Chain A
Amino acid sequence: MIGAIRLFAAAFLLLSIVFVYVSLRQKYRCRRELEAEFDAKAHPDTSEMERDAYIEAGLTEYESSLRRKLIFGIYIVPLCGVAVMIYVTNFM
């Protein structure tokens, strides 16, 4: 059992690093997209505040989007892989 705990602890640590990196990157990318979107369709005389508000609203929407939730696949996919591997090797 100690082996299992060690494996899962190490995997959790490693995947957490990947998770944090990917989520930060996705958020940054989302912000960039929102900025480009706003700049493309806004009049040149709209204020900086409106731009900030637009981006803020977009980011709040992103917080609850499927795209953000999909990042949890970083934990779920390897876990499923291990489960499938255990089944295939030992019980099939």
Chain B
Amino acid sequence: MHYVKWTLMAVVTLLAFSFLHYTLPQNDVVRIADTYEKRVDPGENSWFWAAPDAGNANVANRDVFFVQTIQQNNKPMVYRNEDTGWGWPPYFKFDTSNLQTEAADLKSVKDTPQWVQIRHYGWRNEFLSIYPNAVAVKAVDGPDVRIIPWFNIIFLILLALIALRIYRSIQRFRARRIDPLLEDVGEAFEAAGDHAEAAQDRASGLWGRFTAWLRTWRAK
């Protein structure tokens, strides 16, 4: 029971962490190599695609903008560039085409790099063909700019406060309503246990007498 409880808690924590890690904004400093547009037919990875441009028909397959970038460690990173519209996650991004224009404008070659800060959410996974969704691009001076994630700091503090508050009120509710109930149940169980013990004593008494009677035969 102990292991079940801890496993369950670990799974829930992992899910909550992954959810936040996927949804909250993160910043990368990269160099944009090129941009392209590709038709996408979301299949089993459709969870990881957002919405068509706001106002368009909601058809399954569509063209999606992509931004190809090179990270500081010279490894590639490809971002998709999609509207999130009025849906999830609540970035309310409608300026996909503008963002694509800005990204194209910030293209640079290896010898004269123009570093850009890309705000995005989501994950890159090659096995599922999923890409993080770029939310904003901004030119920065160099690869080692300091970025303080104010939004995440404030959001996570608020979330922790709310979680603590809910935890507290559940605890208080338990202390007030459920614990007295459990005590009653416990007392009932104890009473039942006493009963059983007494019966056991009686039985052992009977059994004891019976075996004693058997022993009286053995001696002869």
Contact = CB atoms under 8 A, between A and B. Distances in A.
A3 B135 contact: no
B135 A89 contact: yes
A90 B93 CA distance: 6
A92 B92 CA distance: 13
A89 B85 contact: no
Interface size class for chain B? 10 to 19
Interface in B79-133: 85-87, 90-95, 98
A1 B55 contact: yes
A3 B86 contact: yes
Nearest to A82: B92
Nearest to B88: A7
A4 interface: yes
Interface string A50-92: 0000000000000000000000000000000010011001111
B77 interface: no
A82 B136 CA distance: 17
Contacts of B70: none
B96 to A, nearest CB: 10
Interface of B: 51, 54-55, 85-87, 90-95, 98, 135-136
